[in-house]
Amino acid sequence: MNSKLFQQHINSLTDYYAEALALHREQGGRLEALLVHSGSAAFYFADDRAIPFQAYGHYLHWLPINKPDQFAYYVPGQKPIYFQIIPDDYWHDQNIENVSWWANSFQIIRLRSTSEITKQIPNSQTGYLGPNAAMALEIGIESRAINPQGIIDYLNYQRAYKSSYEVAQLKEANRLALVGHITARQTFLSGGSEYDIHMAYLNACAMLEEESPYTNIVALDKNAAVLHYQQKNKNRPNISKVLLIDAGCRVNGYSSDVTRTSAKRTVNETFKELLAGMEIIEQELVLLLKPSIAYPEIHLTALKKIGQLLIDLAICGGTADELLENEIPQLFMPHGVGHLLGIQVHDVGGHQQNISGKIKLPPNHSPNLRNTRKLNKGMVFTIEPGCYFIPLLLEPERTTKRGSVINWKLIDELYPCGGIRVEDNVLITSNGVENLTRQYE
């Protein structure tokens, strides 16, 4: 790992945090330092079994240590401190390896419990960022200083811009994901079940399920029409013809989010053409990306292109403009064309327009669009157009005027195929785009 890149990343973070605190004080606040908490362990209801832990995003922005009750502490002008909590515990492995590439960027203070932090910080001047407000109060943080919204707005907005260190982690997460996707496709073509494909992906990426950045979507045939399909059917349907797999990897807290759709040669011919067309559309959308474009424009272009493809394949009649006016493409792609990506898969600040927290909501015709920002250098997000045959959305239109342009005979033939999604992770450069996913295919 490149320690120089990480130190540059920490330098950028300290600049962000210093400015956030300065703006806070200009607006009448009194905070002079911030304590960022990874979060605390949680347990299933009425059980002593711990829920798999996932650290708070703003903490992971500082430290690649995904463990509960760890803290980054920042005072402007000082080297950031890592309060490393190592409890006396013989039930669990509490070891943390302080690897030089990141550890050299911090003053590390080892403590045995969170209560010991009280003696380390001036609580009246320290703000707390994290999910455990009760614990913050216990260590003496004032209630008004817990998750101050103005500071969080500033930090959420800036998270969209990635340092070179962050881009390097995202690239590696994409490389690993593609290894898994290749193996998953091979398992599908050899007749594997959803469970087989899922396990093959995890094994190829050498990770546990709880280390995945999100629950893998491994959908065969009609299940591909369930956008966040969560099951892993163990039956081996040798007649399966379509696989949609949406799966990523996490590297030092940074997530990839990649979707591929595969079809066997025996699949419905129209579906085969639709898949080829959607793959072309996805690449065309990526090539349109550059600074200053508003993300909703990319989404609208996706809807237009999908509408035209539906017409070209006789799935719908009319013109692309007519379909768009009547929101027909949204029946086939009800989700947004993508979202910000980074520490969180659906990263924060997608609707935020400035550091003050101003929000721009998605357009009424596409309420599920997660990103409404203008594209700028350093942003990373997904491009993921889809086309699905979802009975819940389509069937109510079978007898309506709006649905009269739909070829229902063909829809009935396509229902068993489920749907298609093609997704890459992209970085906006100074004059265009870098596809972080395709470089590994």
Res 322: pLDDT: 97
Count Cβ atoms below 10 Å from residue 365 Cβ, excluding itself.
Answer: 15
Residue burial 202-233, b: 16+ Cβ < 10 Å; e: rest: bebbebeeeebbeebbbbbbbbbbbbebeebb
pTM of structure: 0.97
Q: What are φ and ψ of residue 302, in 5° steps? A: -60, -45
pLDDT of 239 reads: 87
- What was the pLDDT predicted at 284? 98
Q: Say whether pLDDT at 434 is over 90.
A: yes
Confidence of residue 412 (pLDDT cuts 50, 70, 90): very high
CATH architecture of 3-158: 3-Layer(aba) Sandwich (3.40)
Position 441 scores a pLDDT of 79
The pLDDT tens digits of the residues spanning 198-220 come to: 999 999 999 999 999 999 999 99
* pLDDT tier for residue 157 given thresholds of 50, 70 and 90: very high
Residue 43 has pLDDT above 80, yes or no: yes
Residue 55 has pLDDT above 80, yes or no: yes
Output the pLDDT for position 249.
98
Burial of 332 (0-12, 13-18, 19+ CB in 10 A): buried
Helices (H), 254-294: 269-287
Nearby residues of 343 by Cβ (< 8 Å), 6 or more positions away: 57, 60, 61, 159, 253, 254, 255
pLDDT at 95: 93
Percent of the chain residues past pLDDT 70, beyond the cut: 100
pLDDT of residue 123: 82
Q: From residue 282, give the alpha-carbon distance in Å to each of 4, 278, 288, 362, 421.
A: 35, 6, 10, 21, 9
The yes-or-no verdict on residue 237 having pLDDT over 90 is no
CATH 3.40.350.10 in the chain: give the residue spans: 3-158
Query: How far is it, in rounded angstroms, from Cα 31 to Cα 152?
Result: 13
CATH 3.90.230.10 for domain 164-440: yes
The contacts of residue 392 (CB under 8 Å, 6+ apart) are none
pLDDT mean over 321-343:
98
Per-residue confidence band for 124, with pLDDT thresholds at 50, 70 and 90: confident
Q: What is the pLDDT of residue 238?
A: 72
Instruction: Output the average pLDDT for the chain.
Output: 97
Region for residue 147 given its phi and psi (left: phi exceeds 0; alpha: psi -120 to 50; beta: otherwise):
left
Compute and round to an integer the Cα radius of gyration of the chain.
Answer: 24
Neighbours of 55 (CB within 10 A): 22
* Whole-number pLDDT of residue 402: 96
- The single residue listed with the structure tokens 């898969």 is 345
Of the candidates 175, 22, 198, 6, the one whose C-alpha atom is nearest the C-alpha of residue 105 is 6
Strand-strand pairing, 380-383 and 419-421: unpaired
Q: Does residue 350 carry a pLDDT above 90?
A: yes
Which pLDDT belongs to residue 231?
Answer: 95
Asked whether 397 and 329 are in contact (CB, 8 A), the reply is: no
Within the chain, which residue ranges are assigned CATH 3.90.230.10? Answer: 164-440
**Residue 380 near residue 425, CB atoms below 8 Å:** yes
Interatomic CA distance for residues 162 and 377, integer angstroms = 9
pLDDT per residue as tens digits for the range 360-381? 999 999 999 999 999 999 999 9
pLDDT at position 188 over 80:
yes
Q: pLDDT tens, 79-106?
A: 999 999 999 999 999 999 999 999 999 9
Asked if 80 contacts 73 with a C-beta cutoff of 8 angstroms, the reply is yes
Indicate the helix (H) or strand (E) that contains 164.
Answer: helix 164-189
Cα separation, 188 vs 370, whole angstroms: 31
The pLDDT assigned to 406 comes to 98
The pLDDT of residue 235 is 87
Instruction: Report, as an integer, the average pLDDT of 136-149.
Output: 96
Q: At residue 10, does pLDDT exceed 80? A: yes
| Token pair of 144 as six digits | 């008004």
